[in-house]
Amino acid sequence: MSAYVCLFLMWFQAAATHEGPLPVSNSGTTAPASYILGPNDQITVEVVELPEFNSKSYRIDADGTVSLPLVGRLEAAGLTMSQFEDRLRTKVQRQVKNPHLVMGLSETRSRPVSVLGSVNTPGIQQLQGSGTLFDVLASAGGLKTEAGATIKITRSPAEGELPLPGATKDASTGRYVGEVNVRDVADLHSSAANIVMRPHDEISVPRAPVVYVMGSVKKSGGFTLSQRHSLSALEALALAEGYGPNASPKHARILRAPLPGQTARAEVPIDLKKAVNGKNEDIHLGPDDILYIPDGSSWRRISMKAGEVALQTVSGVIIWRGI
């Protein structure tokens, strides 16, 4: 994993130490008149002539209604602040002629954003104010170490287009889909990537591709390719910290990930000894490939079963932070 992404993860961890939801406005602050109310939002209502309202807040229930003194239950979800204020004023005028009414929004909890994939706390995050992509990911606990290099964002057509270069519209659903690079989001000066999120957006952080090094090496396991799509066999060997004491590098094997529609892995022999000396090709590994280096004392006995041995082992390996 690059130093850039490591720094990004550190920023996320620092942001995620704040418990609770993203910052919200102070109690009773005036919300934009165009803000659309929803379930679990909490509003404040002050009527100068009716002390029953003052210095209190009221939460909109799951059914979209809110219970208020003197007027009972009112529909609130789906209305803008301005529309709800007009409706409430009509009700209050039955009690007071020309009431002096002030509304505020103390908590906004009806603007869900789904965060899936390689984050520490996947699930629903509630937008608070003008939450950006960075804010929402931080609220989700930040990225895991095996997170990939890109972040996918999907937006409902009701919320408008995604302001991202290369964003497309799915013809079947009408939803907008775009991607941003982790490095671009890490640069907090890049407003083009660190976009303001909208209610019902979906954020998906895929796991980075992994290559595996098994057999007679000092540090076997899986290595994430956080910023790369492939690496060579020698680079994978370096990540595994070199050969074990009885390794047979000239009898190494690369077990290729199955092609779509196939289940069997192809086995590609590679002479790492010659590759190190520049006398043989250094073959590149792709996602989910396995580099297997047998033990020299028994390679003849197990060479034909290298794939079986590696595959039996790979399910329990440690995934190391990649590059």
CATH 3.10.560.10 assigned to domain 3-22+110-205? The reply is: yes
For residues 219-225, average pLDDT: 87
How far apart (Å, rounded) are the C-alpha atoms in residues 59 and 36?
14
Buried b (16+ CB within 10 A) or exposed e, 49-64: ebeebeeeebbbeeeb
Closest CA to 152 of 121, 195, 188, 191: 195
Name every residue whose Cβ is closer than 8 Å to that of residue 74 and which is 6 or more positions away in sequence.
65, 66, 68, 84, 87, 88, 91
CATH of 42-107, one of 3.30.1950.10, 3.40.50.2000, 3.40.630.40, 3.40.50.720: 3.30.1950.10
CATH 3.10.560.10 assigned to domain 210-320? The reply is: yes
For residues 121-135, average pLDDT: 83
Q: Residue 143 pLDDT > 80, yes or no?
A: yes
The reply to whether 3-22+110-205 and 42-107 are identical in fold is no
Residue 11 confidence (pLDDT): 47
Domain residue spans in the chain? 3-22+110-205, 42-107, 210-320
pTM for the model stands at: 0.58
The strand pairing partners of 89, in sequence order, are none
Q: Which pLDDT tens digit goes with each residue over 87-126? A: 999 999 998 888 888 888 887 777 789 999 999 999 888 7
Residue 172 CA to its chain's centroid (Å): 24
- Identify the band that residue 293 occupies on the pLDDT scale cut at 50, 70 and 90: very high
Residue 12 in contact with residue 118, Cβ under 8 Å? no
**HSE of 154, CA atoms in CB hemisphere, 13 A:** 12
> How do beta strands 150-155 and 123-126 pair?
unpaired
Q: Residue 2 pLDDT > 50, yes or no?
A: no
> How do beta strands 210-215 and 290-293 pair?
parallel
The strand pairing partners of 68, in sequence order, are 72
